[in-house]
Amino acid sequence: MKKVWITEARIVTASGGLDDTWQGLMEGRSAIKEITRFPTSVHDSTIGACIEGLAPRGRHSMIHGLLDRLFRRPLTLPPGTLILTASAKAGIDNLERLHRGEDVDTDDMLPSRLPFIVGRKLHSVEPGVNISSACASSTIALARAASMIRSGSARSVMVLCLDLLSEFVFSGFSALRILSARPCKPFDRMRDGLSLGEGAALLVLADEDLAKERGLPCRGTITGWGVANDAVHIVTPAPDGRGLASAIAAALGRAHLEPGQVRAVSAHGTGTIRNDRAELAAFRSIFGDPMPAVYSVKGAIGHTLGAAGGIEVSIALCCLAEGLLPPTVGFGEGEEQTAAHVTRKPEPLSGTRILATNSGFGGVSCALILEAGAA
């Protein structure tokens, strides 16, 4: 079986690129603020984490601006690199503009067209496919890429994920009554909903031999993955976290690890009452006592939907490189069973592994095991 290296990781969030986002997290800063991009007065919240300066370009969606920011630095991919994209809504802002009677590129609106848009920007003849599995989209894309490399069906795969904070998306979450009127508070006992954000991530995965042949760095490795669906409700996770627990168990199995060998969790941590409760139930069922340290980044950059997994894995690579876990921005007072496990301030990373989890509407969950260096 091939070892799966992550050789490149880039992100764009409301806090900036990867270095800026990491620094903001470690300082406990939040990019969630009043939204000026569209009117919010009729909604349950007026705040979100928007990327400054992001705007449509002529007929094109804001996704082109996101892509251009990811590609500001030259990107050299090994020959034959496959492209997987991940997005829940792609250029959904163009649907809003179309409804207002504007002339727009309707291709930008379709998630299925995202691989072709990316392929054109990279002059690639193999544009790949898009994975759209709600807020677990990019985590599942990374799992698929890792599976392809480990099995030998691909030697290198680029995973590119993005989603926008649009009025269409914002109104949908408001209708579900799960937006918080204040910056979200993941795992806090006073949490009352999520804060939306937007962003993009680009990660390149390669098998170890190819990476060494081409002199590519090892930012970290993916050693295990699991995907499951609890099939309980269209938007609400199973209260006992059974779907996520199944995904974590599968990831541990693929990595040939016992639960106690993982001492940190990059959690989905949206700040909704039900998600956080179900996620912690899943962690308790897998790890028992003592629980690993748990953190969420969504109090700082908002919930970036289908891009969340790619962004959060990139941040987890910083954790592995620095030997530190960020504070969970917005977390103050935990419930009885969580207070001792959720990070309040930067903490040393105990060990060289991080479990990264994400879940989405429809009951889908995905878990990845990340390890430092060339494990």
Where are the alpha helices (H) located in 288-324, listed in sequence order? Answer: 298-301, 308-322
Q: Among all chains, which residue has been given the structure tokens 């992550």?
A: 6
**Per-residue pLDDT, 375:** 47
Confidence at residue 42, expressed as pLDDT on a 0 to 100 scale: 94
Nearest to 352 by CA among 334, 331, 374: 374
Tokens of 79: 């020959």
* DSSP secondary structure code for residue 37 in this structure: S
Residue showing tokens 């106690």: 260
Q: What is the pLDDT of residue 335?
A: 79
CB 254 within 8 A of CB 226: yes
Q: Where are the domains of the chain?
A: 1-375
Q: For 138-195, what is each residue's pLDDT tens digit?
A: 999 999 999 999 999 999 999 999 999 999 999 999 999 999 999 999 999 999 999 9
Domain spanning 1-375, CATH architecture: 3-Layer(aba) Sandwich (3.40)
- Which uninterrupted H or E stretch holds 8? strand 4-12
Low-confidence residues in the chain, pLDDT < 70: 125, 336, 339, 374-375
Straight-line distance from the first to the last Cα atom of the chain, in angstroms, rounded to the nearest whole number: 13
- Pick the catalytic residue from 50, 64, 135, 161: 135
Question: How much is the pTM?
Answer: 0.97
Question: Would you call 99 a catalytic residue per the annotation?
Answer: no
Query: Please, which residues have CB within 8 angstroms of residue 160's CB and are 6 or more apart in sequence?
Result: 67, 70, 83, 84, 85, 86, 118, 200, 201, 202, 310
The amino acid occupying position 205 is L
Distance from the Cα of residue 366 to its chain's centroid: 11
pLDDT tens-digit readout, 302-349? 999 999 999 999 999 999 999 999 999 999 988 767 768 999 999 999
**Catalytic annotation present for 256:** no
> Which of 64, 161, 184, 303 is the catalytic position?
303
* Residue 43: active-site member: no
Tell me how long the chain is: 375
d(CA 228, CA 186): 23
DSSP string, 150-213: HHTS-SEEEEEEEE---HHHHHHHHHTT-B-SSS--TTBTT---B-BB-EEEEEEEEEHHHHHH
> Could you give the dihedral angle defined by the CA atoms of residues 116, 118, 120 and 123, in that order, rounded to the nearest 10 degrees?
-120
- The pLDDT score that the predictor gives to residue 288 is 92
pLDDT at 338: 73
Tell me what pLDDT residue 374 has: 59
DSSP-assigned letter for residue 9: E
Token pair 């601006």: residue: 65
